[in-house]
Amino acid sequence: MVGSTSLPKTMRASVLLRQKSLTVEERAVPVAGVGEVLVKVAAVGVCGSDVHYYREGHIGDFIVDSPLVLGHELSGIIVAVGSDVDAVRVGERVAIEPQRPCRTCRECRAGRYNLCPDMKFYATPPIDGAFCGYVTIQAEFAHPIPDCVSFEAAALLEPLSVAIASIRKAQIAPGSSILIAGAGPIGIITAQTARAFGASEIIVSDLISAKRDRALQYGATRVIDPVASDPATLNLDVNAFIDASGSARAVDSGIRSVRPAGIVVLVGLGNPEMVLPVSHIQNLEITVTGIFRYVDTWPTAIHLVASGQVDLDSLVTGRFDLDHVQEALESDQSEDSLKSIVYPN
């Protein structure tokens, strides 16, 4: 490994022991292997999946059955490189794409590396994440960022990548119309991304008035209270619907809000099983699909932020150190909370 000679031997890490039980441990600083870089972590965003693991101890089939370091939205500085990586990269500011596909399976060879059956993804059991001082990643998944992109925004390129993958799946183009259910972090970022991709009508629904108001500040052209007005009854006739809520009712209404041959993209974490209006889907030839992470989104994400088309910095509503990760994970209980950031160093 080539890099700074002053690297510490150990680092602090926030470790989830079991549901709602965290501790801070001293762990060895990892070593960059062949083709890898060692990154000193600068900022880590708190994701809904981190909160699920903390509160529930599992997400679907992914179960926390041994100590786990959470956190997969991150940025930092390369401080050392492994063999086969140019040492000139030491000192680069980077945003991390937090996944390690096998590169050789059928899905990887087809360009769908997000669906790699042997994927090792940060903060997904049993793979540790980034609520710690240092991490390693393949060199090509440490994406250089320009000086105009802050470390906080660079960390949030991960949820922006989810939005980009969703908007691509929804086939949003200039002049498109879209309905987004949920004005949480993913919904807000997706609204901005839809605007950047040229959508002319961006409708956001949410139960909470303050969140609807916030959506109007971030790209929405119209907001809906789904309790007062079921979107399915409003003849929205949109090109696409993206669910960022996980609500079965929102999914049903969204499917009924798209035009014939429209596209429905399911993003939100909700019940693992839902009842869908199958006859309606068949008769209108609606495409219903899901999103599982992303493929090749960081270059687009970096451009959207660096060019000012997507604002991530103003989404940060809470900042915490490694000793207060529990507070960061609980911060979503406030209606004013949007994105919390943890600073491990």
For residues 134 and 181, membership in a common domain is answered with no
339 within a domain of the structure (yes/no): yes
pLDDT at 141: 98
Structure tokens at 35: 């083709």
Number of Cβ within 10 Å of residue 224's Cβ equals 22
pLDDT beyond 90 at 340: yes
For residues 91 and 175, membership in a common domain is answered with no
Model confidence over 2-40: pLDDT tens digits?
A: 766 689 999 999 999 999 999 999 999 999 999 999 999
Cα 88 from chain centre: 29
Q: What is the CATH number of the domain that holds 220?
A: 3.40.50.720
First-residue to last-residue Cα distance in the chain: 21
DSSP state, residue 100 = E
Model confidence over 217-237: pLDDT tens digits?
A: 999 999 999 999 999 999 999
Structure tokens at 246: 């996980």
pLDDT at 5: 63
Q: Residues 42, 77: contact at Cβ < 8 Å? A: yes
For residues 141 and 166, membership in a common domain is answered with no
For residues 286 and 184, membership in a common domain is answered with yes
Closest listed residue to residue 78, CA positions, set 131, 41, 122: 41
Structural domain of 9: 2-156+312-343
Strand order in the sheet with 222-224: 222-224, 201-205, 177-181, 238-243, 258-266, 287-290
DSSP state, residue 246 = -
Q: Residues 205, 231: contact at Cβ < 8 Å? A: yes
Model pTM score: 0.95
Phi, psi (degrees; rounded to nearest 5) at 312: -105, -30
Among the listed ranges 48-57, 155-164, 222-231, 304-313, which one has the minimum average pLDDT value? 48-57
Whole-angstrom distance, CA of residue 126 vs CA of residue 242: 30
Task: Please tell me the total count of domains within the chain.
Answer: 2
Model confidence over 273-298: pLDDT tens digits?
A: 899 999 999 999 999 999 999 999 99
229: Cβ–Cβ under 8 A, 6 or more apart, which residues? none
Q: Which of the four pLDDT bands, split at 50, 70 and 90, describes residue 305? A: very high
Give the CB-side neighbour count of residue 104, counting CA atoms within 13 A.
1
For residues 28 and 141, membership in a common domain is answered with yes
Q: Which of the four pLDDT bands, split at 50, 70 and 90, describes residue 335? A: confident
**Average pLDDT of the segment spanning 204-208:** 97
